[in-house]
Structure 1
Amino acid sequence: MNARILTTATLAIAIAGVLPAKAADPQLLSLVMPDAKVLAGVNVDQAKTTPFGQYVLSQMQSQNLEMQKLEALTGFDPTRDVHELLVASNVANGATANDHTGLFLARGTFDSVKITAAATAGGGITESYKSVTIVEDPKGTHGVAFLDSTLAIAGDVANVKGAIDRQGRAYPMPASLAVLVNKWSSTQDAWAITAVPPSSLHPPATAPSVPGMNGAGAFQAIQSAAGGVKFGALVVVTAEAQADNADDATQMGNALKMLAMLAQMQAAKEPAAAALAQSLQVSTSDSTLNVSVSLPEDLLQQVVKPKGNVRRADRPVIRHM
């Protein structure tokens, strides 16, 4: 085993939360930094009750070699032992996309002794902070801490220590953000909220442009946004974005409709994308843009199926004489 096992232990908590959501765990929320700008939550237990959730979790487990090593060494399987996940970041406060700052907060079942032993055997280091052991990568930049056998926190060390500081203390987030968290976490299986313009979160340079907006990226006009996924026989994705003004909201809505029309024209080549585009519903109310799309669960499995799993067609074997 090498030092990458610590990175896997740190990130597996986040990776496990691919899917769904009752209202967010109050204790997890209490550990979030009070100036959080981006929040996301998932309920892995609910994911396990849906065929699509079971499919994605099984794919994660079978394709991630580091996760398999972690399970072999510690018995910890994120797809089984993590029940709920909350992710938080205040990255907009001067940090860049390469800083990797933030918190992963997980509710589950954790054998901290075995996980710590595996991490340190692979090159990780430990630090005691206010009677809590933080298992860190060899450079001491990121780490994992277990507040008890059911609660784990991971992220950059400064934010992990901040979460430890907030144990048992009241650090309420802004009321407007708390309202959004309650709204989306109580109605969606997986959800995400950004209280700042997505453009400030350093989107890829290849982000699509919205026609009629002077070449600005698609996210430039959005001041805040939220979205969620509801799983079932029909998987429904809902999003709400607050634009700078009503005209920008209308232009983005029109651009989405145009992209949907283009996708439907490619139905023969990309039937799943065409079906998704056909289900698109877009509406605006003043400066608010509302969007929803849906796709049958079995068709969605085809969309996310790893391309590498497709068997190559049998080819004749050329034998050299």
Structure 2
Amino acid sequence: MKIPSATILGTLLAAATAMAAVDPGLLNLVMPEAKILSGVQVAQSQASPFGQYLLSQMQINDEGFQKFVAATGFDPRHDLNEILAATNGDHRALVVGQGVFQVDRILAAAAAEGAAVTNYRGIDIVTSPDKPGSTGSIALLDASTAVMGDTDAVKAAIDRRIAGTSFSGSLADKAKEVSAVNDAWFATVTPLSDFLNGKVANPNLNGMTQGNLLQAVLQASGGVKFGSAGVTISGEAVTRSDKDAQSLVDVMKFLASLVQMNKDKDPLAAKAASLADAAKFTADGPVMHLTMSLPEQQIEQLFMPLAPKPRRTGVALR
């Protein structure tokens, strides 16, 4: 039986979309009280033109990097597939990754560098030797899954893995939705003012986070898609009302205009202005949308180092 080419194409596109979504196994490892999730489809991103550009900028000849790869057998350029990070908003974060890990080799390399290796429920936990009393740890749950965070967070993730718990709810649903159409993404269903309260060191900025506008943002999400011809950035903020969404659009447009007004002051401001110029803000009911498309050449230029300022020669005027 001959299958129509349109059916084959549709199936491939659907499969590609499904593959792009956050891995359920990684999602189930995050803490149940997580407030913000973010992730990167590393393998997909690296395959894009921009991903190849970033790889070309890596210092692969660095002695420390080569020593790390030789000792562990792990090369992040092609052994890392996906990263998922979660935080509960209380200075506790957990990072989980999917890739190819040579467990015994990595553990041996860590021990050789002085790291403490302890066993918890059949899984070895490696604790950093950098500082006395350090609580930064990493555990390899199997040859394809890694967990990193403070020791208690890593142990809790191991507990969830063994218990077979699942992460569900509105944040999980939003994460699946956003990650399915982006290579790098974030999602939160917590009001921004709640999450930022007391987290900003500057008292003036901390006060701004509690302003009426940010209090109106009930949840937010966004992402970056690396395409064959450039990069697309998108985001949305769900507010309390249609009026709040439009007010947020107006504020974002005003801030973008301020950035553009200062573009001639220094090269960094000029780079920011190019982003502001490409940004489009719209309101659809209580939701504010951001879209931004940048061609490959422009996005690469944004990541190029700034040229050093010319030095004064010290020649006196006559």
Is TM-score (shorter-chain normalized) higher than 0.5? yes
Q: Secondary structure at the match of 2:250?
A: helix
- Residue 61 of structure 1 deviates from its aligned partner by 4.5
**Equivalent AA in structure 1 for residue 34 of structure 2:** A
Q: Secondary structure at the match of 1:143?
A: strand
**Please, which of 114, 121, 145 is the counterpart of residue 123 of structure 1?**
114
- Contact persistence 2:193–2:209 (CA under 8 A): no
Q: Which of 195-204 and 224-233 deviates more?
A: 195-204
- Residue 66 of structure 1 deviates from its aligned partner by 5.4
Alpha-carbon deviations, 1:29-76, whole Å to 9, x = none? 121222221111111111121121122234344598754542243232
> Is structure 2 residue 51 aligned with structure 1 residue 53?
yes
- Residue 293 of structure 1 corresponds to 292
> Is structure 2 residue 240 aligned with structure 1 residue 234?
no
TM alignment of 1:99-178, pairs within 5 A: 101-138=92-129, 139-167=133-161, 169-178=163-172
* Runs of at least 5 residues in structure 2 that lack an aligned partner in the other structure: 1-18, 314-318
Label 1:215 to 1:107 Cα distance change in 2 as closer, same or farther (>3 A).
closer
- Contact persistence 1:140–1:157 (CA under 8 A): no
- Residue 261 of structure 1 deviates from its aligned partner by 2.4
User: Normalising to structure 2: TM-score of the pair?
Assistant: 0.77
Q: Which of 150-159 and 285-294 deviates more?
A: 285-294
- Alignment RMSD, CA only? 3.1
Paired residues in the alignment total: 284
Q: Give the whole-Å Cα distance in 2 for the aligned partners of 1:259 and 1:174.
A: 36
Alpha-carbon deviations, 1:153-181, whole Å to 9, x = none? 11111111111112254433343222212
**Equivalent AA in structure 1 for residue 138 of structure 2:** V
- Contact persistence 2:193–2:210 (CA under 8 A): no
Label 1:26 to 1:157 Cα distance change in 2 as closer, same or farther (>3 A).
same
Q: Give the whole-Å Cα distance in 2 for the aligned partners of 1:110 and 1:287.
A: 45
Q: Which of 290-299 and 247-256 deviates more?
A: 247-256
Q: Give the whole-Å Cα distance in 1 for the aligned partners of 2:48 and 2:247.
A: 36
- Residue 206 of structure 1 deviates from its aligned partner by 5.8
Q: Which of 166-175 and 137-146 deviates more?
A: 166-175
- Residue 264 of structure 1 deviates from its aligned partner by 3.4
- Residue 248 of structure 1 deviates from its aligned partner by 3.2
Identity %: 38
Q: Give the whole-Å Cα distance in 1 for the aligned partners of 2:310 and 2:254.
A: 36
**Equivalent AA in structure 2 for residue 304 of structure 1:** F
Q: Give the whole-Å Cα distance in 2 for the aligned partners of 1:239 and 1:207.
A: 27
Q: Bigger radius of gyration, 1 or 2?
A: 2
Q: Which of 52-61 and 101-110 deviates more?
A: 52-61
Q: Secondary structure at the match of 2:34?
A: coil
- Residue 306 of structure 1 corresponds to 305
- Residue 273 of structure 2 corresponds to 274
- Contact persistence 2:279–2:291 (CA under 8 A): yes
- Residue 219 of structure 1 deviates from its aligned partner by 4.2
